[in-house]
Structure 1
Amino acid sequence: MGELRADWRLRLRRGDANGPLCGAGVLVDQDTVLTCAHVVRRPDAVMWVEFAENRALEPVAARVAPGGWLPEGAGGEDVAVLRLDSPRPRARPAPLEPRLLSGMEVFATGYAEGFDDGMTLWGRISGASGERVQLDAATKAEVVRAGFSGAAVCTRPFEGRPARVVGLVVSWRGDMGELLPETNRLAFSYLIPVDRIAELSPTVKELSSPYAWDHRFEARLNRWFDEPADDDPVKITVVPPGSGKERSLRHLLHRADEVYHGGRSSRPDLADHALEHIDFPPGQYLTYWDWLLGARRRPVRVPVVAPGRRPATVVVDGFDDEPEPGPLVDLLARLRECGVRLLLVFRHEGGTGWTAARDALLRPALLGHADALLARLERAEFSRAVRLGVVGSGSLDTVTESADRYRAERRALDTLTDPGRQLTRLRELITALRAELRPHDRT
């Protein structure tokens, strides 16, 4: 089934951290929240956003974004788009679903009086009621109430498909006008669907598009951060401005140990911060800092990743925005000697510094990675043969037969003079080596 907790389900207070609970909200981007306009009350109000289901995320103030005040009437539908005072890229945003079907089973979590930690109610999508949609509950006790306004209306999660947000709770209505749903003869909940909010807000229209995010890219990048020993030590990727891939990247940059913004960041600062993640002799900071910046000869002892630590990761965001990439490439090459892993993000394929990054950073790193995988395969094959008791004077030549075959392919790569062809063959070799190693890693 789906996840029990979600970063994107928000609890709202009015004013500050000590303000009264007044409703719910939905995080749809690292700094964008949807809620009801009547929860916010005024377009100049300050709201306090709490990540009720992930206490590791710090609460933050929020205000109505430009063009985000869409109150009931005058073409609006009781919606407010809020902008966080500081972004929360570690929070996973809500997946928005513009399709809404009658009979769909849905649920919403709100913060009614006495339920500050949340309560969840279920229902089914019924029919349209103007621009709003009626939500039928099994009993009147499951009709939404005060504290649910702005809450995400979500689809039932299934295996492999998480809950998706199809709308916001905006109100409930009883036929007798009583204060509680239970004291009316009939009572129904109402939501405003995502597709209607998208008609009113360009921000929501963009975020509800199927191209708003690049989830395959997210998965590859998360794997790169998670598996330093098995994934490429240097990656080059193209992330076009304004793309879903760029939005996904913005939510993952926090995973890097250091981020260098091309054309805006400082190389001395990068060298300074990188030395926090690598091991060098005591009292030798300036020696190694000068070496990283090319102002001093190579030290006798090249610093390495500090013992017990994962290799540090540096992301260069906008490599082709760097006006003079040469000094940056030299610094990154020295960081590679220290075991630092690099993700180089270009805005455009073939942009400024592309050839230098490929030849001085990517190709040497992948050649070294292939050599390391070959050594692992050779050790794994020999160890397996020892365990099986097949190592003898007559079998030494065949114990590491696969590794020997791949090592011949590796030597052949050194004879290729075309960089593009060599990289293609090199990637094929690395892919094959990883496949050979998987059965050994499971034993």
Structure 2
Amino acid sequence: MAAGGGVRAASSMETPSWAARIRGADGQIVGAGILLSPDRVLTCAHVVDAAAGRITAEFVGATGHSVPSMAAWVDGDAYVPETQDADGDPSGDVALLRLERPRPAEEAVRLHRLSASNRDVRMYGFPEDHNGGIWFRATVVGGCGRDGQVQLIPTSPGELASPGCSGAGVADSLTGEVFGMVLTGQKDAHGNLFSFMTPAETIVRHLHHVHPFTVGRTAVDDRLRSTGDDASDTLLDEPFAQGLAAWLRDDGQQVKISVVRPGDSARAATLRRAITLADRELRTAASVHRASLDPPGTIPSAGGHDLAVDADGLTCAEIAERISERMGLRQHSADLATDGIRDTKATLSLVVVGVDEAVDPPALLDLLEVLRAGGSRLLLVFRTAGALHRRARDELLIRPARERRAQLVERLREITGPLAGALYERRAAVVPDGIRPMDSDLVAAHAALADLTRAEDDPGRGPDRVRYERLAEWVAARLARHIDRLDRLRDRRDELSGRLRGYHVLHQHSAQGKEDPAVDALYLRAHALLQARPCDVRAAEAAVDAYTRKVDDRDGQRRSRLGGSPS
């Protein structure tokens, strides 16, 4: 049994005891659920709707030879249907069921408050043809939408969350801790596959009934939470609020460093407001409605950060332990927490307030560099713009910006040089049939390279650099696809050349030196098309087909004549 009651998620070799199979009034499987206590099951509101008034919960992972089955119903008002805003952004879709009969307490599982990004996860659902349930895997991409939902990429196309999986528990693949619930799966117009989950904090915000079954410290330290007094118009620093909201919406800046001096009540209140609104659990409808009256661009996204720590009076080891706990890392002592953070591939968006008020600020900066190097996003707030603030800017902002810019320049040089040359070489060899020209993309890459080489290395140019990084990624990906398609056309041209040569030899042998103007004309046309540069592979293929068909016809006619002659 896990601390706080319940069990950890089952290993990949077991059917989890907490996994509930939900059937509707017609006996069909309509979804899944998570046993949070002996008589409570968490599921999606749309699963309840699909059950059409009669819900049956079945526990396929229970011990024994039979599958326990019992009636269930919504627990009072613990039902929040999915709603959509004017942009079609979904919210809610959670419900808590009460069971007719309790299950053994050791079969239940707790929800864990964990960071999500870059985490490998697995879920146990009941898709079509798998009535007994099946594990399916995914990787967390990050938050999406205003409700704090999280996007997953299936490990393979067959592992997309499908009907029968809604309501399934989402467990960390490494620790087995359940930290969210599957909502739905989706294949978009471009063929991309995505699954979506709602994390523990968002569930608790919608359903306070789930709070007793949720473990782990909340993401925001008490002193960083917004208070009623913070709602005053005079306590909003609008430019600061817009900058915070931009970072919390992931504007492309990995590290943001700010100063909030003691006594600056407006800036301090603005910081608390942003941290609170960006937290999945603290962001309530009332707080968002109140903030919506403020200037545009000052409201951050739900899930904009994973953890907000007040460093005042804390040791580096204590902060590392807090981060490690939030990332779901196992450590036997605080001293090993930093090693775990360094070794994990998981990342988080971290807010640290009062960096220069920690017990050992230089050691804390070393820890923050480990997080930055691992890909985590950092919002760091200092109380004074002193030597420590300057060191942080140099080590966490300016030096990485220089390195990142140098890498981008090198990447753009590769794109506009060797990769572009490889593309033009192939376009000179074969006609790029059905392949859109990339001239405008390469012109944009050249312009970005020129801009970067002219500009001074100023971290303030970060947003432009982010745009150029996305451009480089886009152009490089298109170049790779185009080169691959052109290589396949070249390979097809070579195959056709070999086929033409083979048939020509066979024809000459069977014709025994006799001329056949019709066949020879077809051969010469096909040969000319294959030798042309660039080669029109489609036209050459049609010409080779015409030649080989004619050779086959002539050969068939000769065999027919030979077969009909006297022996």
Alignment TM-score, normalising by the size of structure 1: 0.42
Structure ID, larger Rg: 2
The structure whose residues are more often strand, as a share, is 1
The structure whose residues are more often helix, as a share, is 2
